Structures are given as C-alpha cells and as structure tokens.
Copies of this chain bind each other. A is one copy, B any other.
C-alpha cells in the first residue's frame, strides 16, 4: 500500500491540501517522494483519500485529493483510556498501543503515586509529544482517526466526572487482585456494550486505598485475572479484554 500521511485539512476529493510540517518532512526527506507520487492521506477524523503529490519544497508538500478509500474500521464502542501517567517514556508506549488497539481518546491522569505533576507535564509539552505519537501510531496501524489526547488532570478533578458519565457509558476502573472487596472480575460484567466506555488504569505504584474507595463510589471496579499485571500493559490488556467481550475482534 502507498505511504499514508496525516492531513487534518483534507475534506473532499479534488482539494489541494498542504501537509503539516512533520508530515511534509516525512514525505520529502524520509521517503524522498516528489511531484506525481501516489500516496494516501487521512484527516484524523475518519476520512482517507488516494492522493497525488502536487508540489514539494524542502519543508512543504501539497497533495491533490483523489477518491475516498477505506481505512481500518473503527470499533463500534468508543473507548477512552484514562491512564495514570507512567514514568519515563512508558507513557509514550501506552499512547502508541492504545491508538493501535482502537481507543477513541486518551485521558492522562495524575494520581497520588504518579511521579510527575500536571504542571510539569504542561511545562514539558508532553501532550504535544503524545499527539505526535498518536498520529504516528495511526499512520502505522491503518486508522484514519487520530484519537484525542486530552489535557492531563489530577485524579481529584477527574473522579467527580465519572459518576455522571456512568448514566450513558460503561466506566471501569481496573484494580489489582485483592485491592477492593467490591471489585468483580471483568468476565462477570454483562457483555452488552454501551455506545461509549472508559477504562481507568493506575500508575506503577498502584492506586491508594482512598483512590480505590473513590472509584468504588463513582464507577464499576473490576479485576483482570488473578495475577498482578504491570501498569504499562494494563491499558492494552483492558482494551483487548473489552473488545473481545464485545466481539470487536
């Protein structure tokens, strides 16, 4: 298949569209494509087109949109992954994998045992970085949707938003085996999918007892098997388990 590029301005066949700088550089410098090359572009909101490179300079690329093409289908249930920010570049992997698995959005959260503050995340422009990773992962996995990376929020700000959400969505907080007597195995949930869902995953050091109690009060608290899973795979395991139960696989 032709190389795929992200072009948020792409709307309809016949348009001439400039690629964003990162994408233009990928086209011209990495893949060394020029005028007349056949490519694919997707707009990050579900539309994908055949396209032809119309003009390039060292840092710019314009493409002419051709017919719409099918991209990898989106899951029927829009699942947001609310993930406690992990150490180092582990959060990068979580973003990349969640996009690949079909997550609809990613909500970074800062919990008691998260080793970075909301202010530090903002100062370090981590959200911009995660957005670039989401675009890159969408390019690789074949999606035409780039999941939204939300602003990082503190757990105390986040948890009050959950109870109202449960009226229309399936909201699941994953905890370690034995962390809460109220926790039920994922397999014991009814498997009828809501239109929307959210899964909430803690940091390396786990949830505090207070956070688990707040989760129990606000949403459904579930376990994934009876072994202790590492925080950096919990998101991908949770997405896989839900999509399997809901016959997306």
A177 at the interface (CB under 8 A from B): yes
Q: Which residues of B contact A230 (CB under 8 A)?
A: 96-97, 100, 140
Q: Which residues of B contact A229 (CB under 8 A)?
A: 100-101, 141
Smallest distance from the beta carbon of A100 to chain B beta carbons, Å? Answer: 6
With an 8 Å Cβ cutoff, the count of chain A residues facing the other chain is 35
Given A186-B249, A237-B236, A244-B244, A72:B228 Cβ within 8 A: yes
- State A101–B75 Cα separation when bound (angstroms): 24
Are B143 and A248 in contact (CB-based, < 8 A)? no
Copies per complex?
2
State which of B100, B233, B241 has its C-beta within 8 Å of the C-beta of A249: B241
Q: Beyond the given A72-B177, A100-B227, could you list 4 further A-B residue pairs with CB under 8 A, ordered by the A residue number?
A: A72-B228, A100-B233, A102-B227, A240-B240
17 A-B residue pairings within 8 Å (CB atoms):
A72-B177, A72-B228, A73-B226, A75-B225, A100-B227, A100-B228, A100-B230, A101-B225, A101-B229, A102-B225, A102-B227, A141-B229, A186-B249, A187-B244, A187-B248, A224-B240, A225-B243
Which residues in A have some Cβ–Cβ distance to B below 8 Å?
A: 72-73, 75, 96-97, 100-102, 140-143, 177, 185-187, 223-230, 233, 236-237, 240-241, 243-245, 247-249
